[in-house]
Structure 1
Amino acid sequence: MLKQLFFGSALLTATGAFGATPVSPVGEAVNLNKYREDVKILASDAFEGRAPLSDGEQKTIDYLVTQFKNIGLAPAFGDSYIQKVPLAKISADQDMTLTIGDQAFENGAEFVARTERISADITLNDDVVFVGYGINAPEYHWNDYADVDVKGKTVIVLVNDPGFASQRKDFFNGNAMTYYGRWTYKYEEAARQGAEAVFIVHETMPAGYGWGVVQAGGTTTKYSLIDDNNNQSKVGVMGWMHLRAAQKVFEAAGLNYREMKAKASAPGFKAIDLNAKATLKLHSTFEMAESQNVAGILPGHTAPDEWVALHAHWDGLGKGTENGKEVILNGAVDNASGVAGVLSLARVMKGMSEKRPNGRTMMFGAFTAEETGLIGAEHFSLNPPVPAENIVAFLNIDGMNVNKATDYILQYGEGLSELEDYVAKVAKSQGRFVKPDPRPQNGLFFRSDHFAAAKQGIPSYLFMSLGDTDPSFIAQRYHKAADDYLPEWDLGGVEQDLDLIGQIMAQLANNGDWPEWTGESDFKAAREASKQ
């Protein structure tokens, strides 16, 4: 067993839903009463939902810095626990209409549009091209942009990737979404191709959520990092289009949407000029601001420049409206539970390091603006305290199982990195098995902070169990005011998952291993490039 490398053969047990669960000295050292206290405080009304750039942000940062100091962690960013994250707060004027050909579409009901460029006004009067899934993936021998020039044009693309349409596991990744299926990739690739605007056709099944989610996210204030050129290299208009609107566009062009989607899902598809122009006037206002990442470290004894990172995003959604009333979205499970887990393991590892110092440095972090696009994690990954190639692994907690212990651990993605082997072996030592993501089509691996680190080549792993042991959570409490701390939480799942994560951290901090990406991917290529 891997755990025996560092903790001998001592085993303790915790009683869960399925009986006795082996717990190592890491799990035994977790103080669940202190864990409860951390969640209760972070998810209290006093913290106002922990929205970036709010009073709740400063209360959160102050609390975390105080805890890191009390634990005895050193600052992660030179002499500071805080990394400033420059943000643009972007609000699009919702008084706009999209016209394609001679058809006008209503904002919110039929399309949404925004920008990350620092440009007050963007005016479209562009030719419209259907480019299938908008994917350029050499490893899959797939390029929807082959033999077409979309510079300065508006492109319409399908959501998800051809694998989902085929359900063939040997085609892309079948039902499991690849990064090429994520909406973020669609915008990135269109910008690389020189397109001025992108409209993604929304369909509930391949997207993994309904139009209401798109409407809510596309019509509210958003945040973005700012590059040296005020984000001018990004696509001008980032849009979504309701399926009914897309069907009208294709019908006006003398095409059947379903037939074109079928052609776009098969090899050999060629982009189609829809012989229409898109017109839109997008006006946006901007507010420049700074948010904050926070992190502390336990310096390594023999290899201090090699870091093993554990993280959970501290931000929540702040305040919202439910049934016509203002409410506080306290985000107890998402993600006060994860932040409390980071603090708990920091306390455990600090105590163990006093008996036996770790070889490598352990980092314990909490970043901003995950809920608005992994922004804090992206800034950290582009500006890490040590070179990215020196970060051994990035472990991310995004919602813990606050209910009873389980006989499994969820895994998002498959065959991505050797970190999966660590998880499987430690889970087995706990009497558990690895359960594949029950909703692989949602692409959850690409939707939390570890993904920003993965894009820089850092082997990364997502620990997320919110909703899996309580099916009602997603429907009734996720991103709602009902996501509050509940005193009846069992926390058996928290104990066993922190035990597992802590064992992996301890192993990587001492065994000299460098987990690698498995299989060909952009992650692996980025890791190899960072070492050159």
Structure 2
Amino acid sequence: MFKPITILFCILINFATFADSNKYEVDLPSVAQHIKVLASDEFAGRGPLTKGEALTIEYLASEYQKIGLVGGNPNSVGTSPLGYYYQAVPMAQITPDPNIMLKIGDLSLQSGADFTARTEQISEKIELDNTPLVFVGYGINAPEYNWNDYADVDVKGKTVIVLVNDPGFATQNADLFTGNAMTYYGRWTYKYEEAARQGAKAVLIVHETAPAAYPWSVVESSNTGSKYTLVDDANNVSKLPIMGWLQLAATEKIFEQSGLSYSALKQQALTKSFSPVTLKQTANLTLKNEISHATSHNVIAKIVGSKYPNEYILAGAHWDHFGTKSTPQGDIIYNGAVDNASGTAGTLEMARILMAKHKVNPFERSILFINFTAEETGLIGSEQFSKGEIIATKDMVALLNIDGMNVLNKVDYILQYGDGLSEMEDYLADATAAQNRRVKLDPRPQNGLFFRSDHFSMAKQGVPSLLFMSLGDTDPDYIAHKYHKAADDYSAAWSLGGVQQDIELMVDIAETLANSRAWPKWKMPSDFKTAREVDLAK
């Protein structure tokens, strides 16, 4: 017969065991509270360089500190006691004159309605003065696909017109590039980068809704008004001077003026034998800009590894959204609850669970949590981090990036963005199987989502990455009525079942890699794979 003191002792032991195991479980009330705070009107839409930023980065740094993580920047930023949790991200704000006009032959095209034009060069005025116009098809130079649209033309100082996406999407031929799934060669960012390497003065990307994956209204809103950019020591002179888009109807008129058929040339551009075509007209444009400089911040915190502290597993999510916009009817706050207060809350909860595990069985490698600034304005915070001033890319094992979580009920699958890209997909498959779930390939690969979030800044430097994104997959109404709109607000009715299972999955992958000697590799031949091989050979 047990004595009372023995019974009490057993109860205490059982309670302690329960409490110890419970700290490894996802604390959904805590996650909900983080989302609620970050997406509150008080945080004013978490716009970079606003009071919303100040509130957000202090909240995140304080929460990481409470959990027990140390600041991830060895050099304190500013005078704040939380400065070791911040990374400075110097940015230039470039605001173009909204009344610019593009003249091509007899056509006078209106900014916003017919075309957009902006720059990342730090210059108050950039001009196109009777600049020759050349149609270069898809504007792709891809040795691994034996494809080079620039092979037979010199575009130095010229304005090039290019098609969006890539020939695989246009033909739906699985043997051409990757068929329906967009490659990086199809992204508008690549078009500008390659044209800059070729010495072009300007690029005008022809907009069509299907291959672009969004309507002209998105192009117009994303490429007019103030934009931010990082600034290098040469004021970004290596960047393309003018980055533009053309409405389809305007494009057809431009080609007609030269006695050419846009649709016929677009068809010709689907073959490797296509030769660029010089148009009869020239381009004239004066791009005037107002320029100001300011500093935003990434938030960085880490769990220090016991054996290999200089090898890092990264877990990230962007903290920013669109802030507050003034209208004649009053201010509109874009709270960004799902995009991306949910992902930011996810990194905090992952940090809490992994820190609790680390205190009992220390991880061999370090785990670093980073919340990026200015994702919504061009992956700026992650681009700054990818430069390696805090951690060299050769020391980054892999990145798990969250950009919008499933705040609704649990599902029996996890979305995988990209197919056959890297060995990180194998880690995803193993962790998913352990949950008795299945991997589901991105149902909209033509949208190229793998190339549109912060992990891609690291991928370009060779760091294998996974994107965790549920925007619109479990809630189709979200994309139509809430995505990048003021309606993306927190709801107490969310079950957060999807958040729970995805955090558990990411914790599993992070823990596995943190106690491994493996360095995940890229599978598909690409610039990313080459960059990784060079890095690991150092």
Question: With structure 1 as the length reference, what TM-score do the two structures score?
Answer: 0.94
Instruction: Go from structure 1 to structure 2 and tell me whether the alpha carbon gap of 1:26 and 1:196 turns closer, same or farther (over 3 Å shift).
Output: farther
Q: How many residue pairs align between the two structures?
A: 508
Per the TM alignment, residue 320 of structure 1 is displaced from its structure 2 partner at its CA by 2.9
User: Equivalent residue for 1:9?
Assistant: none
User: For residues 400-447 of structure 1, what are the alpha-carbon distances to aligned partners after superposition, in whole Å with 9 as ceiling and x for unaligned?
Assistant: 000000001001110000010111111111111111111111100000
User: For residues 158-179 of structure 1, what are the alpha-carbon distances to aligned partners after superposition, in whole Å with 9 as ceiling and x for unaligned?
Assistant: 0001111110111101111000
- Which residue identity is paired with 2:294? A
User: Equivalent residue for 2:493?
Assistant: 488
Per the TM alignment, residue 478 of structure 1 is displaced from its structure 2 partner at its CA by 0.7
Point out the structure with max Rg over C-alpha: 2
User: Equivalent residue for 2:71?
Assistant: 75
**Is 1:29 the equivalent of 2:33?**
no
User: Equivalent residue for 2:151?
Assistant: 146
- Which residue identity is paired with 1:113? A
**Is 1:254 the equivalent of 2:259?**
yes
**Is 1:209 the equivalent of 2:214?**
yes
**Is 1:186 the equivalent of 2:208?**
no
User: Equivalent residue for 1:237?
Assistant: 242
**Is 1:88 the equivalent of 2:84?**
no
Per the TM alignment, residue 324 of structure 1 is displaced from its structure 2 partner at its CA by 4.6
Asked whether the equivalents of residues 26 and 502 of structure 1 are also in contact (C-alpha less than 8 Å), the reply is no
**Residue 53 of structure 1 is aligned with which of 44, 49, 56?**
49
For residues 351 and 451 of structure 1, the distance between their equivalents in structure 2, rounded to whole angstroms, comes to 30
User: Equivalent residue for 2:367?
Assistant: 362
Asked whether the equivalents of residues 92 and 230 of structure 2 are also in contact (C-alpha less than 8 Å), the reply is yes
User: Equivalent residue for 2:5?
Assistant: none
For residues 460 and 25 of structure 2, the distance between their equivalents in structure 1, rounded to whole angstroms, comes to 34
Q: Any stretches of 5+ residues in structure 2 without a counterpart?
A: 1-20, 76-83
User: Equivalent residue for 1:135?
Assistant: 140
1:340-419 maps to which residues of 2 (within 5 A)? 340-419=345-424
Per the TM alignment, residue 383 of structure 1 is displaced from its structure 2 partner at its CA by 2.5
For residues 78 and 398 of structure 1, the distance between their equivalents in structure 2, rounded to whole angstroms, comes to 27
**Is 1:97 the equivalent of 2:97?**
no
Secondary structure, aligned partner of 2:369: strand
Asked whether the equivalents of residues 26 and 503 of structure 1 are also in contact (C-alpha less than 8 Å), the reply is no
Asked whether the equivalents of residues 24 and 353 of structure 2 are also in contact (C-alpha less than 8 Å), the reply is no
Secondary structure, aligned partner of 2:181: coil
For residues 324 and 158 of structure 1, the distance between their equivalents in structure 2, rounded to whole angstroms, comes to 39
Asked whether the equivalents of residues 308 and 394 of structure 1 are also in contact (C-alpha less than 8 Å), the reply is yes
Asked whether the equivalents of residues 307 and 360 of structure 1 are also in contact (C-alpha less than 8 Å), the reply is yes
User: Equivalent residue for 1:17?
Assistant: none
Per the TM alignment, residue 321 of structure 1 is displaced from its structure 2 partner at its CA by 5.8
Per the TM alignment, residue 466 of structure 1 is displaced from its structure 2 partner at its CA by 1.7
* RMSD (CA atoms): 1.2
User: Equivalent residue for 1:512?
Assistant: 517
User: Equivalent residue for 2:331?
Assistant: 326
User: Equivalent residue for 2:14?
Assistant: none
For residues 326 and 172 of structure 2, the distance between their equivalents in structure 1, rounded to whole angstroms, comes to 38
User: Equivalent residue for 1:118?
Assistant: 122
- Which residue identity is paired with 1:268? S
For residues 232 and 283 of structure 1, the distance between their equivalents in structure 2, rounded to whole angstroms, comes to 16
For residues 28 and 363 of structure 1, the distance between their equivalents in structure 2, rounded to whole angstroms, comes to 18
User: Equivalent residue for 2:78?
Assistant: none
For residues 54 and 64 of structure 1, the distance between their equivalents in structure 2, rounded to whole angstroms, comes to 16
- Which residue identity is paired with 1:362? I
User: Equivalent residue for 1:434?
Assistant: 439
Asked whether the equivalents of residues 27 and 495 of structure 1 are also in contact (C-alpha less than 8 Å), the reply is no
User: Equivalent residue for 1:62?
Assistant: 58
Secondary structure, aligned partner of 2:472: coil
- Which residue identity is paired with 1:259? A
For residues 330 and 270 of structure 2, the distance between their equivalents in structure 1, rounded to whole angstroms, comes to 44
**Is 1:424 the equivalent of 2:429?**
yes
For residues 53 and 235 of structure 2, the distance between their equivalents in structure 1, rounded to whole angstroms, comes to 25
- Which residue identity is paired with 2:52? G
- Which residue identity is paired with 1:416? L
User: Equivalent residue for 2:280?
Assistant: 275
For residues 387 and 107 of structure 1, the distance between their equivalents in structure 2, rounded to whole angstroms, comes to 41
User: For residues 357-396 of structure 1, what are the alpha-carbon distances to aligned partners after superposition, in whole Å with 9 as ceiling and x for unaligned?
Assistant: 0000001110100000000000000134222111100110
User: Equivalent residue for 2:110?
Assistant: 106
**Residue 178 of structure 2 is aligned with which of 158, 161, 173?**
173
User: Equivalent residue for 1:41?
Assistant: 37
User: Equivalent residue for 1:468?
Assistant: 473
Asked whether the equivalents of residues 400 and 493 of structure 1 are also in contact (C-alpha less than 8 Å), the reply is yes
Moved more, 455-464 or 384-393: 384-393
Asked whether the equivalents of residues 148 and 272 of structure 2 are also in contact (C-alpha less than 8 Å), the reply is no
Asked whether the equivalents of residues 140 and 172 of structure 1 are also in contact (C-alpha less than 8 Å), the reply is yes
Seq. identity, %: 55
| Runs of 4+ in structure 1 over 6 Å off | none
**Is 1:500 the equivalent of 2:500?**
no
Answer 1 or 2: higher relative contact order, Cα 8 Å, separation at least 6.
1
